[in-house]
């Protein structure tokens, strides 16, 4: 059985200049990552609008990467395998998903789909 945690609409970076609300979305995102790790899900699927903007600020990216590193990088085994041609489906310079790269210690894979707010093709 494959255990998938599906979450969406975090809008990381929303109200980034507000002293009270700027961390709200990051706290929610961290809670879902902690929940996924606690429940030992096989992977997390972020179903859109991880970021509030298609070009998030450096501080938004840094906070996001910090949370992902805290919960996703570890020595836990990956319990599933991709069977498609990874060079076609993941056309990056490595030619495979990062959780199968021996240079990374990914224990909780995260897949993300962009939404209308973080669509790399345009600005909302």
φ/ψ of residue 42, rounded to 5: -75, -35
Q: What is the DSSP letter of 94?
A: T
Please pick, among 11, 52, 103, 117, the residue that the annotation labels catalytic. 117
Q: For residue 118, tell me if it sits in a domain.
A: no
Q: Which CATH number does the domain housing residue 100 bear?
A: 3.60.21.10
The helix (run of H) or strand (run of E) holding residue 108 is none
Q: For residue 51, tell me if it sits in a domain.
A: yes
H helix intervals, the chain: 24-38, 58-72, 86-89
Token reading at 39: 């429940």
User: Is 117 among the catalytic positions?
Assistant: yes
Beta carbons of 22 and 61 less than 8 angstroms apart: no
Q: Among 63-72, 79-88, 96-105, which range has the highest average pLDDT? A: 63-72
Q: Which domain holds residue 30?
A: 4-112
Our measurement of the distance from residue 98's CA atom to the centroid of its chain's CA atoms, rounded to an integer in Å, reads 12
Q: For residue 53, tell me if it sits in a domain.
A: yes
Q: Is the pTM of this model over 0.85?
A: no
Q: Among 10-24, 36-50, 77-91, which range has the highest average pLDDT? A: 36-50
Q: For residue 26, tell me if it sits in a domain.
A: yes
Q: For residue 30, tell me if it sits in a domain.
A: yes
Q: What is the average per-residue pLDDT within 27-47?
A: 93
């Amino acid at each position: 059985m494959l255990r998938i945690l599906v979450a969406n609409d975090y809008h990381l970076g929303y109200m980034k200049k507000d002293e009270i609300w700027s961390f709200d979305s990051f706290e929610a995102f961290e809670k879902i990552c902690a929940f996924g790790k606690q429940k030992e899900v096989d992977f997390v699927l972020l179903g859109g609008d991880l970021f509030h903007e298609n070009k998030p600020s450096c501080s938004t990216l840094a906070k996001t990467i910090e949370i992902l590193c805290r919960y996703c990088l570890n020595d836990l085994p990956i319990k599933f395998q991709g069977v498609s041609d990874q060079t076609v489906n993941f056309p990056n310079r490595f030619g495979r998903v990062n959780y199968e790269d021996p240079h990374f210690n990914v224990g909780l894979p995260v897949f993300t789909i962009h939404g209308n707010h973080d669509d790399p093709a345009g600005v909302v």
